[in-house]
Amino acid sequence: MNENDLNVVASFTKRVEDLHSGKKRNHRIRRIRHRAQKRSRKNRSIVEPTVEPTIESTVEKIIEQQPVEKNVELPIEKETSEVEIVVAPIPKIAINNNVNFEKATTISKAKSINTEKRMNETPKLRNSLPLVDICRDRRRRISSIKKNSTENISRNDIAYALKPHYSVQKTAKQSFMPTWAKFSLSWPSFDEIVELVNAKKGNTIPVYQEMSADMLTPVSAYLKISNGKNYSFMLESIEGGEQISRYSFIGADPYKIIRSGKNEELKGDPLVHIQKEMDNIKYVSIQGLPQFTGGAIGYIAYDCVQYFEPRTACELKDNIGVPDMIMLLCNTLIVFDHLKHVVKVVSHVKTDDKDLSKEELKKIYDDVVVEISKVIAILKNPEVPLPDQKPIILNQKPESNTGKEGYERFVTELKRHIIEGDIIQAVPSQRISKKTTLHPFNAYRHLRSINPSPYMFYIDLKEFQIVGASPEMLVKVDDNNYVHNHPIAGTRPRGKTPEEDEALAVDLLSDVKECAEHVMLVDLGRNDINRICQPNTVVVSSLMHIEKYSHVMHIVSNVIGKLRDDKTSYDAFRSIFPAGTLSGAPKIKAMELIYELENERRGVYGGAVGHFDYSGALDTCIAIRTMVFKDETVYLQAGAGIVYDSVPEKEYQETLNKLMANVTALENAEKFYYDQQQGNKI
């Protein structure tokens, strides 16, 4: 498009250099456009179309007009510097990053060199020239067509008429995409993907599009994307600093599901099956994305310790009946960036290390872009499908698998082993089960508001659902191969007033028994990490600080070390699993005694929930403050650390304190939906 498209006289072009000045830029753009339109209206009566153009003919006429490099003679005015028109091509940018268009820019000779250099350096920057230029180009074309048409054409009709010129791909899948999705931009561009593939950087490259998060929440996004899907997940982090709570991850419809266990096709060490899938992936990190953009998401049961420590293997009752492991392999994720208030929909170009032609790679890239656009279209839909809630039955009594007397007997028996020198500490647990018709996601919605935690998760595994708000990291291996552990031990209930709360925190840090127990578990964590980390790299970065949650407060520490070159993140997981805060010390002997007393598989409780990344990193939490919904029954479980001077009654009460947040969430959710259903009947 040149200045003649808007019937602008040549003298106007001297004002365009104002576009490149930093002050009052928007005001100058508006003033320039206003003057252009005034001059265009002044000459409109001179140019009258002899034939009424249709939308298509008008569009074609506009598209055929190409920028022409020419010299313009300016009227002689006082103190006017010489000005020339420079035609600077803009990189090929569009929906599939293949649309060609040019931008004619008028600049002064003094600024032409710097401006051309800036334009050549800018295309690879996110959210800079590409988005601005394509939107501006579309607006100019639409305005020109609307102005020159004698018919009353809507801007939306013109936008649809322009679609073929902005979207090279015209497949059946794309025909169902809304107009705004057609014009979305994906990063990296196809040309950048070609460069990465030719450079043999890897075989799995993330591609993403951004959208604003001002009209979306993680809950609404999950409900939209999981509607009608058998498998889905949502991982949130609501409480903590920027490093903990910046991102939320949502996914559904995995391309593969890995299940292992006694009654499954795959058996044995579950990490072997995960690693087998991940070893084929050579991930390429892309700027602007978090470390985790895809991989395996799910849980590993506590009882998988028998594969890492064969001495703990024994026959146990299985009253819940869940597999040892279920992992969902997801290639497309929704990432909420709470710091920048944007949503990034990420999918991946996978080449499988094949020598692909440019046309084959283009087809893979286009399919990925279409998949991303489909997800964005779902998220843009204003309708939010709510869970199908069955009629609520109140006052269902919970049942404990031990009871108060049984749990206190566990404490007494373990204290005897401590006195005899078999162990230093052990963590027995009790499980509570309750019949309920409450939809698991409705329980999660109440739990996330009552007990916000660093690790919030909802995982729908078709036969059962896992709902949790865990405060404690199990193990994390970042992209720099640093191993993180987050021991939590020492508990007090929250106070009713700020003064009482502070007094309880002081009392907790002054409790010799709680502090000794915590220090012992920190030493256990250091020992676990030291087995797979480089010498002299394991440090306690934070020792014994208080973290407060909705119903309890804990003493917390952080342990970190650098992973050895001959070890992997899977080795780090094996070394630390299960957490000492859920087993005891020495770990193996404590686990043997716990199995003798409980005589049941723990299942999800005390295991790990999290994700294993395409990049080789992982982030998992301990499955505590967790509920399992299966066959209209919810299972909750909690334990307490037993040491030499433990009091059985107090340890039993500690398990109830830890269960309180989940029990309260269940009761509140049931009452809320019961009242809602009764109100609807009225």
605 classed as catalytic: yes
- Per annotation, catalytic residue among 570, 603, 625, 639: 625
Q: Which long-range contacts (CB under 8 A, 24 or more apart) does 107-113 make?
A: 107/16, 107/17, 107/20, 108/17, 108/81, 108/83, 109/81, 109/82, 109/83, 109/84, 110/81, 111/17, 111/20, 112/84, 112/86
Residue 495's alpha-carbon distances to 492, 515, 537, 650, 674, in angstroms, are: 9, 20, 39, 17, 30
CB distance 20 to 106 below 8 Å: no
Rounded CA gap, 191 and 197, in Å? 10
Kindly report whether the peptide bond that precedes residue 310 is cis, defined as omega within 30 degrees of 0: no
- Per annotation, catalytic residue among 247, 365, 605, 652: 605
Rounded CA gap, 151 and 53, in Å? 8
Residue given tokens 């996601």 in the structure block:
441
CA atoms within 13 A on the CB side of 178: 12
444 classed as catalytic: no
**CA 521 to mean position of chain CA atoms:** 31
CB distance 508 to 497 below 8 Å: no
- Per annotation, catalytic residue among 581, 620, 626, 655: 581
Rounded CA gap, 646 and 512, in Å? 12
34 classed as catalytic: no
CB distance 454 to 239 below 8 Å: yes
Of the candidates 143, 181, 175, 169, the residue with the CA atom closest to the CA atom of residue 58: 143
Rounded CA gap, 146 and 55, in Å? 9
- Per annotation, catalytic residue among 554, 574, 601, 611: 554
Strands (E), 584-656: 584-585, 608-613, 618-622, 626-630, 633-639
The dihedral over CA atoms of 151, 156, 160, 165, expressed in degrees to the nearest 10, equals 90
Burial (CB count within 10 angstroms: exposed 0-12, middle 13-18, buried 19+), residue 194: middle
Which positions are catalytic? 554, 581, 605, 625, 641
